[in-house]
A and B are shown apart, each in its own frame.
Chain A
Amino acid sequence: DTGVSQNPRHKITKRGQNVTFRCDPISEHNRLYWYRQTLGQGPEFLTYFQNEAQLEKSRLLSDRFSAERPKGSFSTLEIQRTEQGDSAMYLCASSPTRGVQETQYFGPGTRLLVL
């Protein structure tokens, strides 16, 4: 399967715990994006990487959230001291660098439930 993959697919955690999600983009895609989607809403942008550089962060990304893409391939999104309001689907997307706006291909998402 050459699509975007995300792990884990589901995560249940207790409030206050730290969680980390992983995203493996389509190979050779330089751009990687994280979005968050809550029930009844469209995905909301969190952050974006061009290779290993984090170029944009949403104000939704509080100081409890951190994302990395250390070698310009896979990326991790960590949430520290989780809160119930963090419960959502976390989606990763990737796109090639051939133009200003290329199609973003989404992974299956990680569904987080904070109890």
Chain B
Amino acid sequence: RKEVEQDPGPFNVPEGATVAFNCTYSNSASQSFFWYRQDCRKEPKLLMSVYSSGNEDGRFTAQLNRASQYISLLIRDSKLSDSATYLCVVPNTGTASKLTFGTGTRLQVTL
């Protein structure tokens, strides 16, 4: 099983739609998780951190299910500007070192 797995998409949704992405991880000891956003040919930027059951920031909600070892990202009222790749990220447990990224899920929001 890959350390972090995501559906690569693309997810094509109309403006205003609600869309959800899932991500599964293999290390049951992982405590914290991140969603990063990456625009085409740009660097990844932190979107949300998930440390407990979930986190909400405006139109974005991240949820964590430890029993099933998956994290989800829900985007409500999608905007054209939400079009990007969303990377699920699991930090290494223990010392502060590497981040393990999923392949990313590509979202295209259309008119």
Q: Which residues of A contact B (CB under 8 A)?
A: 31, 33, 35, 40-45, 48, 55-56, 58, 91, 95, 97, 99-109, 111
Contacts and interface: CB of A to CB of B under 8 A. Distances in A.
B20 interface: no
Contact of A106 (B8, B45, B94, B104): B45
Given A55-B97, A103-B49, A40 B43 contact: no
B22 interface: no
Interface string B90-111: 0100111111111110000000
A58 B98 contact: yes
Interface string B14-47: 0000000000000000001010000001111110
A104 B43 contact: no
Nearest to A100: B96
A104 B103 contact: no
Contacts, number: 58
Interface residues of B, number: 25
B62 interface: no
Nearest to A56: B97
A45 to B, nearest CB: 4
Nearest to A92: B43
A91 B32 CA distance: 22
B95 A100 contact: yes
Contact of A43 (B45, B91, B101): B101
A104 B97 contact: no
B73 interface: no
Task: Give the 9 A-B CB pairs with smallest separation, nearest first.
Answer: A42-B101, A45-B98, A106-B43, A101-B91, A48-B97, A56-B97, A43-B101, A42-B103, A42-B87
Contacts of B98: 33, 45, 48, 56, 58
